[in-house]
Structure 1
């Protein structure tokens, strides 16, 4: 203090002004909540302390290193004026990182001079670098009208001002980092990193609040669980980045369904849960569930591919299905996990927990089933559709439980896949089926093909080819007698790798078939590259094909495609003569189903192989060329047609309505169909399902709009007038049979040429 008193009064005044500035800035440092607030306060304090006439702060842009004006005091108003006032002085301080004093701005180099300063009467300036750690993040410039205000004591105090502000900035930066780290930890603990949705922990924390809110509004808290299905296949198709996009889009769609008094959380990679406090009754819950399902199952466009999701949903209502809030998520997850009905939605009931317990018990028993020899193989015949000769058998896995007896494959095979046991069990199936086929040959039975299903897990085995070769070698079975069945969905996964693996299997000499064809998303561009020998038409199409035109069209298309690609065909699930007749007409090569035999244990299938039945197989062309079907004809016309048929030696079939006519068409070989005007729709379906059959319409009004429309659409070969003359009817029907024979002969010749040429597209 004594040293200060010895200074001239003007020096003491300057020093006190800067001391006041330093003191006020330090008090501001304690209160400031952000760097920007501190910068603005420093400018104001510098001017109000009495020594400086203006002040300016500029921030350093991290990306470019250039200065951006942030705050000023002393009448420097516009941003342009602020930048001009700083001139090159502030940039020099930013570059050097040191305090700079200029007592005569007029003496600065031209690049650093500023006309604005001279116009304002400012002749001296000091530039202070402000730091965060070691980096200059801002520059504070103070201006004075006096050219002699910066003596050493002022300079020292200004350096202290810069250090204190920098210390504060560094402290704030560390505090921001600490808070950011805490925020990140809180975020990670409460939100899903992939979608940004609240997670299970946050949902469980808020469930009591939501339950209380629902009670206040006279409602019950409803929890809806949404489980996404088939994600493994989509992930294999799109890869990690594509899967992330699928989840983000799905999360946003579900968020749009959230009720105002509700919450959406992500419980896991493939699972979401809604908690709604504003659903009043069952109708509200059902409407909400339908909206969620519709939103989740809308097609997605990801990486140029259209993706379809399926969901399984469960629901639980607090106070109705479960009193304890802590058990709500457990109950609703049980409901969604076991939801396998057509709607994909199930409300919780105590029985579901009992089913889950049985599920867990069965899973444990499966681990021991292979060791205890509880698995066995049944075999279902595959038969030539024309000759009735047995062409092969399919090996089907069965589990004979020591207490529960024979368990349905649909119950335990999905469990094998969940447990990861399918590769081990599949290897056992392959080996056992090969040994059995070899045993039949040793018993003197004719060699036949044995088909074995490969699961997705088994197909992904790195040593699959070696396992197949080992099974053939151990059994002493020629590879030509083994067929491996692959599902359509399996071959979509990593298509290029799958094709390569299939070629490796083909090199062994085994045949490959594509199971459940038509139920997946196979692209024809891939199908022509798959080295398959045969495709199996899924039984869901076979079951409905004689009644539903869409199923019939699919079966026709699949068979036509297979013939064009030179592939064998087999239809599964054939249960009656009507289905068999229709498949024969479409030239399906083989059939499999209860019509011939159910899956049989080894002893029974062996006996069947020794005494195999055959169907009679008349020449379909010869039979059809003399069979006429009459549908919806009036009694008088029907009697006349019966008389004409007897005289001509034709077989006459009649049906009172179109559905009966379709059954006869499926079961018999029919060349000509006649219907009255009421059967016009029936003739349209005949054209779609049996395009080679010649169709005649008999009517008293050939000029009717319905008749003309049918003729224009090509649904009719000819229109017959009524009342009709017997001789005229005979001539017309004879002409129709000749038309049928000519068409059938052309088709037969094409098939023979294709077979002779041995065309096959791979």
Structure 2
């Protein structure tokens, strides 16, 4: 995909000449005659490089690039001019607002070479900013390495996990921080970005390393502390194999052609238990757990400890998976009752994953690793069942990594676009509102669902930049509709919890509104019920800032979490969006209709509008109209459509002609 370059010059002939040169070289080119026009273009498009004249009416090139540097720090600037005020130019270069100064007339090849160098520098700066943002905002312990393996930067959580002062971490080679690093395993880890590596620090702590963002020049690694069984517990439980002995046992089985199964068992919520129990209780917990597991081992099985919360059982393959599941049932049967830990009683539950050789792994390392992958994936399942390894799990992990990395370039490459789903007023079928929905067309993966990439963006930190782009593009579209005379009342945009927690968010939103000459009332900002209810008082404070700005506020997906209307009175919310799960059974379930009627009535008493989403049938519309629901959206009226198609809906009002039915 081509990079986007903005040309700024008040001489049309120069703009045309530069535009032809750059377009022939494969760049996407935008043009502006003034600094004000340039900032408007930047507000609507992801620009990699600005090439500006120095002498221009109103705002000169130095002033423009300073504004660009402030508002769009990943965008580089070049001054291309026959004349420039020397002092102003030096200040612009020294401040970093301008990357270089090039003189007119220009040599085509020399200019193209400088542009290529600028874009490479821009990519380096963008990657650095992305790593910086993660280091500052991530709830995870992170460590940044140079390409030679030296520690460049780290966050406070990394210091806590590694138990080191900053002076002993900065500029140290990774190999000096850990004991007995296997060079081959380390090389594989750096080469394969979806791998994890477990190492022991010089202070005796065990940690797991995994990649966050990595390129040819830098590695940003996540560090997770791994609790190993204490020496005292291990001495008392000699039947526990360690990791090396486990691997050797599996290797012996495989080399003697004995089919075997590796079962990985992890104590759920172990970190919470570790925070709440004393060291003595924690040792007792590990000792009792291992003893009970050992006492209930199937015949010819062995048990080992990988960490304090992680056990592995290896047993001969029984031929039928149903028999294997019975073995696991028997193994965990003692944990159906509470354990007594120095006067306290604890009920333990385990996540279980298993892998069967040779189908799920042909080597000991593979088999044990795949059992652990299944177990870790099973941690996310609230219901207790035993999960067998599937090759798709590795693919899922690889896909997560690929999507996360691709998100960083998706904005720059303009792979995102917006669709608009009409919201229809039930009273008269009138439509002048829509929900704004993001879509991602990846050049290789095709259309990637928001249900896939949004959670990854929230987890890995890209959601802030994506959310800002959605708002900017949405407001720019609203401005265009306004110029075309399309009467749009309001556009609903989803906010992530991370955006809402950003203390500068309301300020930046105000800037976007001013730049696009839009009133805040054009926006309806939707926040999910689950996030708002995590801390009701804090949520109220965050929402008040947006309300002061003039935005409409909506609670999205109502009915999926707390569903307590009493809490709504504490939040400055004007709109309640009923989750689609509440309306699915409206036509068949009087109980569902009664519950929805109660929610709508209570919301109206709190002066809130009620919107039902996911409506798919005329019967649902009729029931919701009888229940006094204010607005609906769903495929019964329209799927999400392009900006042009939505403008036509607003002009033609097709649903009003049929009085709100289809």
The equivalent position to 2:651 in structure 1, one of 589, 592, 610, is: 610
Matching residue of 1:462? 503
Task: Report the CA distance shift for 1:226/1:239 in structure 2 as closer, same or farther (over 3 A).
Answer: closer
Matching residue of 1:321? 360
For 1:712-727, what aligned pairs fall within 5 Å after superposition? none
Task: Report the CA distance shift for 1:186/1:373 in structure 2 as closer, same or farther (over 3 A).
Answer: closer
Q: Tell me the CA shift for residue 445 of structure 1.
A: 1.3
The equivalent position to 1:209 in structure 2, one of 249, 274, 280, is: 249
For 1:598-677, what aligned pairs fall within 5 Å after superposition? 598-615=639-656
Task: Report the CA distance shift for 1:188/1:524 in structure 2 as closer, same or farther (over 3 A).
Answer: same
Q: Tell me the CA shift for residue 438 of structure 1.
A: 2.5
Q: Tell me the CA shift for residue 209 of structure 1.
A: 3.5
Matching residue of 2:420? 379
TM-score by length of 1: 0.47
Say which SS state the counterpart of residue 492 (structure 1) adopts: helix
Task: Report the CA distance shift for 1:357/1:216 in structure 2 as closer, same or farther (over 3 A).
Answer: closer
The equivalent position to 1:277 in structure 2, one of 315, 322, 336, is: 315
Q: Tell me the CA shift for residue 188 of structure 1.
A: 4.9
Matching residue of 2:521? 480
Q: Tell me the CA shift for residue 246 of structure 1.
A: 14
Q: Tell me the CA shift for residue 430 of structure 1.
A: 1.4
For 1:616 and 1:295, the matched residues in 2 are separated by 67
The equivalent position to 1:543 in structure 2, one of 584, 588, 598, is: 584
Matching residue of 2:553? 512
Which segments of 5 or more consecutive residues in structure 1 lack a partner in the other structure? 1-183, 300-307, 620-666, 669-762
For 1:577 and 1:564, the matched residues in 2 are separated by 27
Q: Tell me the CA shift for residue 517 of structure 1.
A: 0.9
Say which SS state the counterpart of residue 491 (structure 2) adopts: strand
Contact between 1:221 and 1:317, CA under 8 Å: does it hold in 2? yes
Q: Tell me the CA shift for residue 554 of structure 1.
A: 3.8
Say which SS state the counterpart of residue 277 (structure 1) adopts: strand
Contact between 1:221 and 1:276, CA under 8 Å: does it hold in 2? yes
For 1:321 and 1:493, the matched residues in 2 are separated by 40
Q: Tell me the CA shift for residue 212 of structure 1.
A: 6.1
Q: Tell me the CA shift for residue 276 of structure 1.
A: 4.5
The equivalent position to 2:543 in structure 1, one of 493, 498, 502, is: 502
For 1:242 and 1:393, the matched residues in 2 are separated by 51
Contact between 2:302 and 2:315, CA under 8 Å: does it hold in 1? yes
Matching residue of 1:578? 619
Contact between 1:222 and 1:279, CA under 8 Å: does it hold in 2? no
Task: Report the CA distance shift for 1:348/1:565 in structure 2 as closer, same or farther (over 3 A).
Answer: same
For 1:245 and 1:504, the matched residues in 2 are separated by 47
* 2:607 aligned with 1:566: yes
Say which SS state the counterpart of residue 389 (structure 1) adopts: coil
Matching residue of 1:224? 264
The equivalent position to 1:398 in structure 2, one of 417, 439, 442, is: 439
Matching residue of 2:106? none
Q: Tell me the CA shift for residue 535 of structure 1.
A: 1.3
Which segments of 5 or more consecutive residues in structure 2 lack a partner in the other structure? 1-200, 208-224, 235-239, 339-346
Say which SS state the counterpart of residue 555 (structure 2) adopts: strand
For 1:102-113, what aligned pairs fall within 5 Å after superposition? none
Cα deviation digits, residues 639-671 of structure 1 (max 9, x gap): xxxxxxxxxxxxxxxxxxxxxxxxxxxx99xxx
Cα deviation digits, residues 414-461 of structure 1 (max 9, x gap): 221232100111111112112212221221111311111111222221
Deviates more, 1:208-217 or 1:382-391: 208-217
Task: Report the CA distance shift for 1:351/1:525 in structure 2 as closer, same or farther (over 3 A).
Answer: closer
Say which SS state the counterpart of residue 396 (structure 1) adopts: strand
Task: Report the CA distance shift for 1:510/1:315 in structure 2 as closer, same or farther (over 3 A).
Answer: same
Bigger fraction of residues in helix = 1
Say which SS state the counterpart of residue 260 (structure 2) adopts: coil
Matching residue of 1:92? none
For 2:533 and 2:280, the matched residues in 1 are separated by 20
Contact between 2:259 and 2:357, CA under 8 Å: does it hold in 1? no
- Number of aligned pairs? 424
Task: Report the CA distance shift for 1:397/1:205 in structure 2 as closer, same or farther (over 3 A).
Answer: farther
Say which SS state the counterpart of residue 508 (structure 2) adopts: helix
* Structure (1 or 2) with the larger CA radius of gyration: 1
Cα deviation digits, residues 221-260 of structure 1 (max 9, x gap): 332365969x9xx98xx99769999999998998767753
Say which SS state the counterpart of residue 566 (structure 1) adopts: coil
Cα deviation digits, residues 142-192 of structure 1 (max 9, x gap): xxxxxxxxxxxxxxxxxxxxxxxxxxxxxxxxxxxxxxxxxx999855995
Q: Tell me the CA shift for residue 479 of structure 1.
A: 1.2
Cα RMSD, aligned residues only: 4.9
